[in-house]
Each structure stands twice: as C-alpha cells, then as structure tokens.
Amino acid sequence: MSPKITTWIFPLMAVGFILSLSNGCKKDDNDYVPAVATGYTTIDRTIIPNTVSPFPPQIYPYQIVEYPVYGYGGWQYGPGLACQKRLDLMPKTYSGASVTKVAKLLRFFTMSDIHLVDEETPTSAIYYSYMGGGSPSGYNPSMLLTTQMLNAAVQTVNVLNKKSPFDFGISLGDDCDNTQYNELRWFIDVLDGKSIDPDSGVKDDPIPGPGNDYQDPFQAEGLHNSIPWYQTLGNHDHFWKGSYPVTNSFRPNYTGLNIINLDDPLTGLEGSGFYMGSVDGRTRYGNIIGAGATDTFPNPPQVLAADIKRRSLTRNEWISEFFTTSSNPVGHGFDQTNVNSGFACYTFEPKMDIPIRMIVLDDTQSEDDPNNGGYAHSSLDWERFHWLVAELEKGQSEGLLMIIAAHVPVGIGPGLWNPAAPVTEDTLLATLHHYPNLIMWISGHRHISQITVQPSPESAHPELGFWVIETPSLKDYPQQFRTFDIARNSDNTISIFATDVDPITNPGSLPALSHTYAVAAYQLFNYQIAYAPSGVYNAELVKQLTPAMQTKIQQYGTPVSR
C-alpha cells in the first residue's frame, strides 16, 4: 500500500575586506568592493542545477540509486552575480553617483538552518516526504550528510578569514533538526574542531573503510580561534521537527526503540495512524524503514538501537549546552540568566571601537502559545517586546547603529506571524520604524536568500527605514551562508554588502555528494526558491543615517586604501 501523500509543508520550509578594486560588487573604477576568495563566493561563480526530463512517476525521492539514471542531482557552474546596488531607502533624488567608500566598519558571516539530522532517530517525520509530495522537510537525502556540509562551510569561512578577517559569526537558528542533544552537540563540536561521529545507536559502516560514507567519524577543522561566534534560537531547536512542543508523555519516544506513530502533524503529536519511518544506517543510501500506514505492519517497527544521546532538549537545556565549548565566547552570547530563565535574548557589541550593537532576539513561538497550525510562526510576547524596545531605546540614546538578529524574518508577507501572538506584526513594525539607527534585521527560517526593504513611513525621514536580509539553509538547496561587510561612504551614508557563499565541496567529497542530494531534492520536489535557478542574491544596500549619526560615524572605521 502506498503511503498517503500530503501537501502539508513542514514549517522548516516556510520556505580585512580586501581593499582593492577587483572582484566583488564592482560598479565602476571608483567603487569599493569587499573581499572574496576566488571560486568560493557567488560573486565569482554560481551553481546552476541541470535540466532534467519531467518527473518520472516511478522515481521517488528516497530512490537515490536511480538519480543518475534520470539526471537528478546534476549541476554546473554558471557566471557569478555582482552585487545589485539598492537605493530603496534613500531619497528619490539620491543617485550616489560620486560617492565612494572611505572606511570599513564591520565584517561578519551568518549561517542558518543547518538542521543537523540524526537520520536514525525514532522520532523523525520521513513518512510525509519520502515518496514525494509536500516538501523536503520530512525527507531529503542531504539529511544524511549535514555534519559534513557544516564542516565544509566552516572550512570555507576559514579560507575567507585568511584573506579578510571576520569580526564575528552568528548562527541564526535551527542548528538542530529535531531538538535532540546529539544534533546540538554535533553543531557545537564541529565549530569547536572536535572529532565528530555522526552515527547514532549502534556503529554502522555502510561502505567499509574510513571517511567514505555518511556514518564515518571525521575530524572537524573548527572555526579559526580568532573568530568569536554567537547563537540565535530557532523553532527546530526547541520543538519537535520545528512544529510542536515536546510533551512529557512524548519525550520518552526520542530515546526508545519504537518508531513514532502519528496522524496529520497539523493536529499535534497525539494522533496515530502512520508510522513516521527512520533510516537504516547500515545501508549505503540510507534505506527507509518503518514508514507507512499502521495496519500494514504486523508489529510496531523499531530503529536498530536506542540511544540516550537522542534525548529532546528543553529550551533551558539547549541554552545551557553552549557553555560546553572550547571556542569563544563561552556561552556564545548567552549567560547564566538565560539558562535559568529560558529567555533567549541578549545583546553584544562586536567591536568596541565601532558603534554597532547586535540585538539577538528570540522571535520563535513559546511552548505555551495556542496551536495555530503548528509552532513555526514568528511571535513575540510582551516580555520580549518590552525587552526589545528597551534595547532599541538604549542603543539609540547611546548613538549606536543596531542590527537585530532573529530566526524568523519580519514584514515579508502573510503566513509567518502567529495570528494569536500577544504583539501583532503591525505593532512591531510600527515600533521598529521609530529607531533610525536600526539598519537591518537578519534572519533565516525560509531557507532562501531574499532581501526585503522596510521603507520609512515618513518620506521626509528616510533614515527610519531598514533592511530585512535572509540567509539560506546549509541543508536545502542552494546550501549557502552569507557574509556581511559594512562600509562608511564619503557622504556618511553606509553600505551593507550582503554576499552568498557556496561551501567548499571538492569533487568526490562527501560535502559534494550532499550538494548533489540537495539539488536532486530541489528538482524532485519542485519547490520554489527566490532568485531561481541559482537562488543567489548579492546586494549593496545603502542606508541613510541621521545628521547626528553622520557626524559621529566620521570618527570610526579603518580607512580604505586604493
């Protein structure tokens, strides 16, 4: 019996600068550009999926061995995409034609939606996707290689850092796929440069020999010790599959043998009718086991072995884990107050000699929010809203430019904001427009590279506008992260260079195989991404400052040499 094919979309898919005149966002001979490492950013080249014939009905996403027969997963390099200069927030009469870049202020990178997957967990949701339909959130063959792809991204950051040092990096949430302890440990340990064993349960070796399959241990390179990194909370970090709070009655399923039995996930975790499936880690292509209608199994299906490391983390436990680390800073932004309260918001100043403050905001739903079709919406209660306003007031009064880092973007259209949230999205947006020193809101969640303008509500005060910049996922195509370079211009506006980066994937490597799998899922599920087919959007985003901030900013930054 074929499993029910659902159209339900998992919430996961809500889907020093080098001071030169070559490479990057070049517009003319007087323009300043950020650094790139040749071949590693989308300014140099982009990845374009190959065209395939219409979806053959006999091929399903889990039939990995058949991909080459029909050309799924194939891709080639296409031309790079230079930065598009965006003046949306500037007065209509502004051209910026004679403006040059005079100083660099800040350089950082973002990663988001890494979704480190324990594919052998008994609490997966493979059933909803492995036969096609829906989205690749429940099943995507790249789920087999998420630790390897994260390590490739870290290696790429280190290459870029050698050419032009980063001031910091930040994860924008969804390190975990299923709020599991072992998933979070893999994330922290990869960045720390530890030995990684991506296997769970009993030891499996689908292809005999070291370093040649998704279950083999490997030595992570680790983020260079000169780069501090920080963390944001995502919905998958504290909800089952990013969708529902893990109840006390459901929690033992994580560390047991029995594959979970659910109905439509939009009804929660208490229904039954379909076994959700898992992966047989002994098999080369991660064969699916235990997926299908309950009445097709004479006995409840089980995973190969139980594992206590699969335990589900509470919000407090998730925060606490960032203190077990060998990289900086300890806690990665959180302090003991965050651990005790579960309040996942904080601020930090990346460079004490640059007037920029990061405001890290938890805009995921609370565990006690009402169910409105899953828990993947953005939401603010009054506690977090008042905290945010206080931080914006403080930053404005201190003459600091401000960046909000949150998991879910704001103001990009209907469907993301929880309609039952105590604070409405309109209230939040109206509040944000009171602070001219707010320059951008950075986020992930939708797995795309979109940039959205939030213009000032007052045409006479363009400085009240800000940018919303989304970072793609490392799990789903196009599997990229972003770099940000902020520069001061000769007219004391600022430019934000946002650049997509492809992780290093050497031919024949496991990260390269992950990329093939992600491209195949993109083709088979036929899901939509912004800026197809490459999914790339690089931009120079110009922002007007207040007169007071224009005067102050002249004192700061490292001069651009030409």
We report the CATH number of the domain holding residue 457 as 3.60.21.10
Closest CA to 342 of 268, 254, 245: 245
Higher pLDDT, 52 or 117: 117
264 in any annotated domain: no
pLDDT band at residue 135 under the 50/70/90 scheme = confident
| Residue 53 confidence (pLDDT) | 74
pLDDT band at residue 97 under the 50/70/90 scheme = confident
| Residue 305 confidence (pLDDT) | 98
Residue 541 has pLDDT above 70, yes or no: yes
pLDDT tens digits, residue range 282-329? Answer: 999 999 999 999 999 999 999 999 999 999 999 999 999 999 999 999
pLDDT band at residue 526 under the 50/70/90 scheme = confident
Read off the tokens for 101.
């870049």
Q: What is the DSSP string of 484-552?
A: EEEEEETTS-EEEEEEEEPPP--TTSHHHHHHHHHHHHHHHHT---TTTTTT---EEEEE---HHHHHH
| Residue 508 confidence (pLDDT) | 92
pLDDT band at residue 26 under the 50/70/90 scheme = very low
| Residue 544 confidence (pLDDT) | 95
| Residue 457 confidence (pLDDT) | 95
d(CA 482, CA 61): 28
pLDDT band at residue 266 under the 50/70/90 scheme = low
373 in any annotated domain: yes
Residue 27 has pLDDT above 50, yes or no: no
pLDDT band at residue 29 under the 50/70/90 scheme = very low
* Tokens 């959700």, located at residue: 276
The stretch 247-270 carries a mean pLDDT of 89
| Residue 36 confidence (pLDDT) | 38
> Could you give the number of structural domains in the chain?
1
The stretch 9-17 carries a mean pLDDT of 34
Higher pLDDT, 223 or 69: 223
123-127, 129-133, 287-291, 408-412: which has the minimum mean pLDDT?
129-133
pTM: 0.93
55-69, 455-469, 496-510: which has the minimum mean pLDDT?
55-69
151 in any annotated domain: yes
| Residue 15 confidence (pLDDT) | 33
- The sign of the torsion formed by the CA atoms of 519, 524, 525, 528 equals positive
| Residue 34 confidence (pLDDT) | 43
Helix 510-525 crosses helix 146-163 at what angle (to 10 degrees)? Answer: 110
The stretch 105-127 carries a mean pLDDT of 97
281 in any annotated domain: no
Cis peptide bond upstream of 329, omega within 30: yes
Which residues lie closer than 8 Å to 475 by C-beta, 6 or more apart? 113, 114, 115, 117, 140, 142, 143, 146, 149, 177, 447, 518
135 in any annotated domain: no
Average pLDDT over all residues of the chain: 91
Q: Please name every residue paired with 452 in a beta bridge, in sequence order, or none if there are none.
A: 468
293 in any annotated domain: no
| Residue 562 confidence (pLDDT) | 56
| Residue 254 confidence (pLDDT) | 98
| Residue 18 confidence (pLDDT) | 26
| Residue 55 confidence (pLDDT) | 66
The stretch 501-524 carries a mean pLDDT of 94
By residue range, what is the domain housing residue 73?
16-117+147-198+223-236+314-559
Residue 73 has pLDDT above 70, yes or no: yes
The stretch 143-161 carries a mean pLDDT of 97
Residue 561 has pLDDT above 90, yes or no: no
The stretch 44-63 carries a mean pLDDT of 84
Helix 146-163 crosses helix 181-192 at what angle (to 10 degrees)? Answer: 30
Higher pLDDT, 369 or 6: 369
Q: How far is residue 172 from each of residues 138, 162, 232, measured CA to CA in Å?
A: 21, 23, 5
pLDDT band at residue 16 under the 50/70/90 scheme = very low
Residue 373 has pLDDT above 90, yes or no: no
Under a CB-based contact definition with an 8 Å cutoff, are residues 354 and 402 in contact?
A: no
pLDDT band at residue 96 under the 50/70/90 scheme = confident
Higher pLDDT, 526 or 26: 526
479 in any annotated domain: yes
385 in any annotated domain: yes
**Percent of the chain whose predicted confidence (pLDDT) is above 90:** 82
| Residue 209 confidence (pLDDT) | 95
Query: How does 135-168 read in b/e, with b if 16+ C-beta sit within 10 Å?
Result: bbbbbbbbbbbbbbbbbbbbbbbbebbeebebbb
| Residue 270 confidence (pLDDT) | 80
